[in-house]
A = this chain, B = another copy of it.
């Protein structure tokens, strides 16, 4: 459980004064209740404290007159709170139901790993449709580019799959963080619930586990090849690093497939100490040779250069194929493991901080050696893969 406390300061205060006075006040409040507190940093610095088992964030911000005048994202929150508090009467239980429903489905949270539904979005959805059940009935028919504009504001044009125009700031999409697949997952759950309601739609997701031995057995059954890359987590917040992890994994998948290694599934996770990429490959070993396309013969100069360059080769070619020269050459990497361990990894587009961390080295593991206690739930979920509704339906049907 957690609690956010906003400390409102006069907007005429300088940013530096706000940070000094605000943090001072926050620190003195926290110290009155607990010894477990410390400074954290999002867009602003703030104080995070543990008081009686409740995570309390004490956040200094400007008390601006209207949401249009906010100076940073945290200034908007008091407007959201006021807006919801004034209207939510009688719908509190519906909001709690929706939050539990989305948590159960693994789609609660607007952070970069979840790409799902924020608390404020849940509140607005319940408000807009007038309750949990009316919302689910409507959501069952949602399609991407669904736009909800509760106050009928003149809103800007948004391109995200789900759009909820912020009632207190029409230039903001409250659902901006929701990915296409998480939106679809909500639609799927809404359909499932309206067709056959069950208490299982509110079960909290179990932390999944897999032992090293189970992983070894699973890989033997599947016949696939598993590779992991582990490296130190760069010292930045999740919002900065997770998008880089996502981009890095895509780039490495492309690099593998360009080299002939067929990737079945790949994913990433960020833990406090280490980041972890997992790749399941259909093909991890390849013959020494590959074909190498040369220039079309119409490009006479380059064609002649290509021919004379390869004239001493003992491999077949250059031969003519579809009007171009083509050649057999030796493959740079015949084993996916060698490729993942090589410097070539630094050439793909990794994102600045990930690349910096990899410059200090990374570890490549293969098969059951990919198992690390730190990543056990992630590894288990990597092989689980089911839509939220399929998990609920299997519980209902006792499969």
Of all chain B residues, the one with the shortest Cβ separation from A319 is: B385
**Alpha-carbon distance A300/B141, docked complex (angstroms):** 9
Check B316 against A184 for contact (C-beta < 8 Å).
no
**Alpha-carbon distance A17/B85, docked complex (angstroms):** 104
CB distance from A363 to the nearest CB of B (A): 24
Query: Interface segment, A65-73, A198-206, A285-293?
Result: A285-293
Check B390 against A311 for contact (C-beta < 8 Å).
yes
Check B262 against A260 for contact (C-beta < 8 Å).
yes
Check A264 against B283 for contact (C-beta < 8 Å).
no
The quantity of this chain's copies bound in the complex is 2
- Complex interface: chain B residues within 8 A of A298 (CB): 143-144
Contact of A289 among B181, B222, B328 (CB under 8 A): B222
A54 near B: Cβ within 8 Å? no
A341-399 contacts to B, CB under 8 A, are: 383-387, 389-390, 393-394, 397, 399
Query: Interface segment, A149-157, A164-172, A185-193, A240-248?
Result: A185-193
Given A180-B322, A283-B283, A320-B184: A288 in contact with B223 (beta carbons within 8 A): yes
A interface residues, tally (CB under 8 Å): 55
Check B260 against A307 for contact (C-beta < 8 Å).
no
CB distance from A309 to the nearest CB of B (A): 12
A329 near B: Cβ within 8 Å? no
The interface centre, meaning the residue of A224, A316, A394 with most chain B CB atoms within 10 A of its CB, is A316
Q: List 17 A-B contacts (CB under 8 A).
A: A144-B298, A180-B323, A181-B320, A181-B322, A185-B320, A187-B297, A188-B320, A191-B304, A222-B287, A222-B289, A223-B287, A260-B282, A264-B289, A311-B390, A312-B399, A319-B390, A320-B387
- Complex interface: chain B residues within 8 A of A317 (CB): 385-387, 390
Given A325-B387, A386-B319: A300 in contact with B191 (beta carbons within 8 A): yes
Check A181 against B321 for contact (C-beta < 8 Å).
yes
A318 near B: Cβ within 8 Å? yes
Given A144-B323, A184-B323, A311-B394: A316 in contact with B384 (beta carbons within 8 A): yes
A334 near B: Cβ within 8 Å? yes
**Alpha-carbon distance A53/B378, docked complex (angstroms):** 79
CB distance from A315 to the nearest CB of B (A): 9
- Complex interface: chain B residues within 8 A of A389 (CB): 307
Given A264-B291, A289-B264, A297-B184: A387 in contact with B282 (beta carbons within 8 A): no
Contact of A311 among B181, B221, B318, B393 (CB under 8 A): B393
CB distance from A328 to the nearest CB of B (A): 8
Of all chain B residues, the one with the shortest Cβ separation from A296 is: B184
**Alpha-carbon distance A390/B315, docked complex (angstroms):** 12
Of all chain B residues, the one with the shortest Cβ separation from A287 is: B223
- Complex interface: chain B residues within 8 A of A307 (CB): 387, 389-390, 393
- 6 closest A-B pairs by beta carbon, nearest first, are A223-B287, A316-B385, A319-B385, A224-B287, A181-B320, A320-B387
**What 0/1 readout, one digit per residue, does chain A (30-68) give for beta carbons within 8 Å of chain B?**
000000000000000000000000000000000000000
CB distance from A197 to the nearest CB of B (A): 16
Given A319-B386, A383-B316, A387-B318: A222 in contact with B288 (beta carbons within 8 A): yes
Known: A282-B287, A311-B390. 20 other contacts (CB 8 A): A144-B323, A181-B320, A184-B297, A185-B320, A222-B289, A223-B289, A224-B287, A260-B282, A264-B287, A264-B289, A282-B286, A283-B286, A307-B387, A307-B390, A312-B399, A316-B383, A316-B384, A317-B390, A319-B386, A325-B387
